[in-house]
Amino acid sequence: MEGINVKLVDNMGTDFRIFEAAKATLGGGTESNFKEGETDPTRLIKFLANERHVTPFRHPQVTFECEAPISIARQLGKHQAGFSWNERSMRYRDSVIDVFTPDMFRGRPTHLHDGSTEEDVSKEVAIDLDQFGTVSVEEIYSQAIKAAVTSYEVLVNAGLAPEQARFVLPQGMVTRWIWTGSLYGWFEVYRQRSSGHSQYEVREFARQLDGIMSELYPIAWEALKDTIK
Amino acid sequence: MEGINVKLVDNMGTDFRIFEAAKATLGGGTESNFKEGETDPTRLIKFLANERHVTPFRHPQVTFECEAPISIARQLGKHQAGFSWNERSMRYRDSVIDVFTPDMFRGRPTHLHDGSTEEDVSKEVAIDLDQFGTVSVEEIYSQAIKAAVTSYEVLVNAGLAPEQARFVLPQGMVTRWIWTGSLYGWFEVYRQRSSGHSQYEVREFARQLDGIMSELYPIAWEALKDTIK
Amino acid sequence: MEGINVKLVDNMGTDFRIFEAAKATLGGGTESNFKEGETDPTRLIKFLANERHVTPFRHPQVTFECEAPISIARQLGKHQAGFSWNERSMRYRDSVIDVFTPDMFRGRPTHLHDGSTEEDVSKEVAIDLDQFGTVSVEEIYSQAIKAAVTSYEVLVNAGLAPEQARFVLPQGMVTRWIWTGSLYGWFEVYRQRSSGHSQYEVREFARQLDGIMSELYPIAWEALKDTIK
Amino acid sequence: MEGINVKLVDNMGTDFRIFEAAKATLGGGTESNFKEGETDPTRLIKFLANERHVTPFRHPQVTFECEAPISIARQLGKHQAGFSWNERSMRYRDSVIDVFTPDMFRGRPTHLHDGSTEEDVSKEVAIDLDQFGTVSVEEIYSQAIKAAVTSYEVLVNAGLAPEQARFVLPQGMVTRWIWTGSLYGWFEVYRQRSSGHSQYEVREFARQLDGIMSELYPIAWEALKDTIK
């Protein structure tokens, strides 16, 4: 989706690494959880996921290059313990400013905690401007964004420090960051951000994350996802 | 400062607690660092700060109620390890929206990494509008803010979900959060955010933090501050 | 229990603080989760616990003075994120050495992952020493401990550095530390360490923790405990 | 060293990755810190290290397989924030027990905080046993270790649960763990554990870590080490 992107940069380890780490921890011996001579990691990984023995899932690491509107990045950024986050600063610079425009403008829910309805209100008539006709939600949105970015540029050109001028930039401005975390850390991001309670744009991030992780760690990722209800 | 505020909610421990914690750790005995019968915590606390034995400074805890513009809150929020941060959500609600207006509009620096000059450009003539005269930086700023908030309200009234409408809200919007951390954690916030490299508005936050912490933990706070250069 | 102790040093906040923090976050307004004019925190705290909105439970902080055998302290110490741990060092000193002796010596389980049986083997005949009769598990244990501590003392008196001499000290040696964490952090310690899979001595620690926390935060602690199974 | 080992398992990223991450963060443009077209990462990495812009050093990750005596592992384990640690449990098992024996037995320092002298006291006469002659520090140490391990085995064979029997095992027992952390995290371990204040055995761990890291990330590791006084 334009403005919401998760791109793999690098990763470390495989499903087999989790298996090896768990075996090293459990040691040889007669424990019921580890079978001597077992080479397929599937059974042990499922056991670890179900019993919430999560430490072996913390060794594989994945780095992503991400982009999202600021208000979406802020929700994602609540996951911090054990993550590394390196974001492009807007303080010093007047680089090109991208602002997010939703694919679909969603309706306001009756119960506020639902976030939004599934209804498309893009063409909703927002204001009747007498002789000029009416303006849609989509048009008001795009004009608001344009006006804000123009004000920013006028202010910077007039000599205002960018660090202050950016106060007028919209929260839909797209930001970019490099984000590194462990397999288990990414699972927690996915679990919390893929739920129906999350904003659609946040779920889109989770959806892209899911696609990449299930290719990198097919056994472990599925075993962890199976623990979500 | 209007829109940047640090207010004490609660705290735990005193300078004397740090002294006691360090004594418990060092134990009795013949160590040179701990003097039997010493009751004034000053010498030991200075020793701990200078030797970077920071763990005793991690037991006292302080909770603040904070407010700052979103782009300032984001800079502050990089300090996360060991902190608890509870922010008011804008996703569900159309509550009153406050947007930050700087006390002084600062000039753009020659070297971008300086952030800003000390020069006041509030009255700087920004654009010559022919017959309408000129508009100052201050006016462009305040009109940009007003236009953005109006667009948000129009969009929400037209039926758009607040979680999408807020993409047009400015990054100068004031947000509020409850923030808890340890004495040492707060010192790290102070150290990094009081430097001349920090944005003026961030330093204002650090300045208020400093005032409160130096009252709560006069000996420890000063001993830690003495380690900065 | 001799050698396993949790003692309250200080705490910050009450159930009411969690209620206030959550209210500040949720804000006033029409949200279904927050009822205007509600003064009893019970309903809202239960809601937060059930929905796993854990951040409000992270602001109250509690400091304990703890003691436990080293191998038990190591299991407890796996909980680190957001905690402060200040332990008495054995590196420099020849202070008095306490070693833990179990109340009851428990039998070896058939399935190793069960940890131990409920059976008391204290008097179990361990070795038949011909003319000298037999020695019980209890006696072998206490003699092993005594021999190790004596060796440590002989080594230190002979001029060996305590940091090396302590390699002969037993893992049952009691260590003492100051430990600070948030209400939610302590709940996680409790949840993981009170389960039937945990070693009896670890559960004893969890039991004492439970007693103190349920007095300090009766509503929140119970609401969190209700989420376990 | 027998009983103290750091072995590389896997790693992610290179010096060039840090360079790329920093460039992505700084963005293109006119910043003095980033030179358009620069391809040698050395200058930028040194700049980042000196200015303590540490986040780009947090993306590369390294996994080690480690072994060390328990009392050394405990000192190392104080570094936890952002690390993953997976240790072989001794709770369930009666696997082979290795106990650490120092290469050299060091003398007791006059000032306790020095840890130990450089003097070899291995042959120091510890006790005069009348007709039996004298016993060296080395012999007392090795007999103490042997006696403790024997007691453990006798207790387990007599039917005591291993989780209790291990209380008699010495703190010099070698433990094994898988440890994953970021390049910057490992630098912090190195910085704190290579100092002259650290125990010799801890410095040995740091020395091995240094050897591996300086091969994996030659530019970044040296730039970081240059910041230590």
Q: What pLDDT is stored for residue C101 in this prediction?
A: 96
Picking from B31, B81, B112, the nearest residue to D81 by CB comes out as B81
Q: What pLDDT is stored for residue B35 in this prediction?
A: 64
Rounded CA-CA distance B63/B60 in Å is: 10
- Binary contact (C24, B92; C-beta < 8 A): no
Amino acid identity for residue D178 in this structure: I
D11-39: average pLDDT: 74
Whether D169 shows a pLDDT value over 50: the answer reads yes
Q: What pLDDT is stored for residue A113 in this prediction?
A: 61
Whether B218 shows a pLDDT value over 90: the answer reads yes
Tokens 């992505």 -> residue? D24
Q: What pLDDT is stored for residue B6 in this prediction?
A: 97
Helix (H, G, I), strand (E, B) or coil at C44: helix
Amino acid identity for residue D39 in this structure: T
C56-74: average pLDDT: 95
Output the 3-class SS for chain B: CCCCEEEEEEEECCHHHHHHHHHHHHCCCCCCCCCCCCCCCHHHHHHHHHCCCCHHHHCCEEEEEEEEEHHHHHHHCCCCCCCEEEECCCCCCCCCCCECCCCCCEECCCCHHHCCCCCECCCCEEEECHHHCEEEHHHHHHHHHHHHHHHHHHHHHCCECHHHHHHHCECCEEEEEEEEEEHHHHHHHHHHHCCCCCCHHHHHHHHHHHHHHHHHCHHHHHHHHCCCC
Angle at CA C82, nearest 5°, toward C91 and D221? 65
Please state, rounded to an integer, the average pLDDT across all residues of chain B.
Answer: 87
DSSP string, D125-188: EEEE-GGG-EEEHHHHHHHHHHHHHHHHHHHHHTTB-HHHHGGGSBTTBEEEEEEEEEHHHHHH
Helix (H, G, I), strand (E, B) or coil at A223: helix
Whether C133 shows a pLDDT value over 80: the answer reads no
Task: For chain D, say whether A132 makes contact (Cβ under 8 Å).
Answer: no
Cα first-last separation, chain C: 28
Rounded CA-CA distance B146/B140 in Å is: 10
Q: What pLDDT is stored for residue A143 in this prediction?
A: 95
Q: What pLDDT is stored for residue C219 in this prediction?
A: 97
Q: What pLDDT is stored for residue C47 in this prediction?
A: 92
Rounded CA-CA distance A23/C175 in Å is: 30
Higher pLDDT, D87 or D149: D149
Whether C92 shows a pLDDT value over 60: the answer reads no
Backbone φ and ψ for A3, nearest 5 degrees, come out as: 95, -10
Helix (H, G, I), strand (E, B) or coil at C111: coil
Chain C residues lying within 8 Å of A30, measured CB to CB: 112
Quickly state the pLDDT bin for B30 (edges 50, 70, 90): very low
Higher pLDDT, B99 or D39: B99
CA distances from B221 to A102, B38, B53, C181, D178 (A): 48, 20, 14, 21, 38
Q: Which of C108, C120, C137, C176 to mutate to test the interface with D (most CBs of D within 10 A)?
A: C108
Whether C145 shows a pLDDT value over 90: the answer reads yes
Is residue D223 within 8 A of residue D46, CB to CB? The reply is: yes
Chain D residues lying within 8 Å of A58, measured CB to CB: 84, 86, 180
Q: Tell me which residues of chain B, numbers 209 to 228, contact chain C at a CB-CB cutoff of 8 Å.
A: none
Whether D51 shows a pLDDT value over 50: the answer reads yes
Please state, rounded to an integer, the average pLDDT across all residues of chain C.
Answer: 87
**pLDDT per residue over A28-76, tens digit each?**
444 445 566 778 899 999 999 998 888 899 999 999 999 999 999 999 9
Strand C174-182 relative to strand C61-69: parallel, antiparallel, unpaired? antiparallel
Higher pLDDT, D77 or A66: A66
- Binary contact (D86, A180; C-beta < 8 A): no
Rounded CA-CA distance B7/B124 in Å is: 34
**pLDDT per residue over B47-63, tens digit each?**
999 988 888 999 999 99
Residue D139 to chain B, least CA–CA distance (Å):
29
Interface confidence, given as ipTM, is 0.89
Nearest CA in chain D to A81: D82
Beta strands in A72-193 (DSSP E): 84-87, 125-128, 134-136, 174-182
Q: What pLDDT is stored for residue A30 in this prediction?
A: 40
Nearest CA in chain A to B104: A164
Chain C residues lying within 8 Å of A31, measured CB to CB: 112-113
Task: For chain A, say whether C29 makes contact (Cβ under 8 Å).
Answer: yes
Nearest CA in chain D to B112: D31
Whether D31 shows a pLDDT value over 70: the answer reads no
- Binary contact (D24, A95; C-beta < 8 A): no
Q: Which of A43-52, B193-202, C28-37, D200-209 has the highest mean pLDDT?
A: D200-209
Q: What pLDDT is stored for residue A178 in this prediction?
A: 92
Output the 3-class SS for D11-79: EECCHHHHHHHHHHHHCCCCCCCCCCCCCCCHHHHHHHHHCCCCHHHHCCEEEEEEEEEHHHHHHHCCC
Residue D89, CB-side half-sphere exposure with 13 Å CA sphere:
20
Picking from A11, A55, A86, the nearest residue to D55 by CB comes out as A86
**pLDDT per residue over D98-141, tens digit each?**
999 999 999 988 765 667 877 888 887 777 666 667 889 999 99
Q: Tell me which residues of chain B, numbers 1 to 20, contact chain C at a CB-CB cutoff of 8 Å.
A: 10-13, 17
Q: Which of A120-124, A125-129, B94-98 is predicted with the least confidence, judged by mean pLDDT?
A: A125-129
**Element of type H or E holding C71:** helix C70-76
Whether C32 shows a pLDDT value over 60: the answer reads no
Is residue D81 within 8 A of residue C80, CB to CB? The reply is: yes
Rounded CA-CA distance C42/C55 in Å is: 17
Residue B211 to chain A, least CA–CA distance (Å):
25
DSSP string, A26-67: H-SSS-TTS-TT----HHHHHHHHHTT--GGGGS-EEEEEEE
Task: Retrieve residue D92's tokens.
Answer: 């369930």
Whether B98 shows a pLDDT value over 70: the answer reads yes
- Binary contact (D13, A11; C-beta < 8 A): no
Q: What pLDDT is stored for residue B129 in this prediction?
A: 62
Given phi > 0 = left and psi -120 to 50 = alpha, else beta, which region is A71?
A: alpha
Q: Which of C57-71, C175-189, C202-216, D17-31 is predicted with the least confidence, judged by mean pLDDT?
A: D17-31
Domains and their CATH numbers in chain B: 5-90+173-225 (3.30.1360.170), 112-168 (no CATH)
Residue C55 to chain D, least CA–CA distance (Å):
19
Q: What pLDDT is stored for residue B112 in this prediction?
A: 60
Please state, rounded to an integer, the average pLDDT across all residues of chain D.
Answer: 87
Task: For chain B, say whether D119 makes contact (Cβ under 8 Å).
Answer: no
Q: Which of A4-18, A189-203, B20-34 is predicted with the least confidence, judged by mean pLDDT?
A: B20-34
Picking from A28, A59, A85, the nearest residue to D63 by CB comes out as A59
- Binary contact (A107, B161; C-beta < 8 A): yes
What percentage of chain C carries pLDDT values higher than 90?
60
- Binary contact (C112, A31; C-beta < 8 A): yes
Quickly state the pLDDT bin for A86 (edges 50, 70, 90): confident
Residue C228 to chain B, least CA–CA distance (Å):
23
The alpha carbon of C182 is separated from its chain's Cα centroid by a whole number of angstroms, namely 15
Is residue A175 within 8 A of residue A75, CB to CB? The reply is: no
Is residue D177 within 8 A of residue D73, CB to CB? The reply is: yes
Rounded CA-CA distance A214/A211 in Å is: 6
Rounded CA-CA distance A168/A187 in Å is: 35
Whether D29 shows a pLDDT value over 70: the answer reads no
Picking from D108, D126, D163, the nearest residue to C162 by CB comes out as D108
What percentage of chain D carries pLDDT values higher than 70?
88
The predicted model scores a pTM of 0.90
Q: Which of A31-35, A127-131, C63-67 has the highest mean pLDDT?
A: C63-67
Residue A108 DSSP code: P
Chain D residues lying within 8 Å of C76, measured CB to CB: none
Quickly state the pLDDT bin for D148 (edges 50, 70, 90): very high
Task: For chain B, say whether D229 makes contact (Cβ under 8 Å).
Answer: no
Q: Tell me which residues of chain B, numbers 50 to 109, contact chain A at a CB-CB cutoff of 8 Å.
A: 69-71, 74, 77-78, 80-81, 85, 90-93, 99-100, 102, 105-109
**Element of type H or E holding C218:** helix C218-225
Interaxial angle between packed helices B137-157 and A137-157, expressed in degrees from 0 to 180 and rounded to the nearest 10: 170
Picking from D31, D33, D113, the nearest residue to B32 by CB comes out as D113
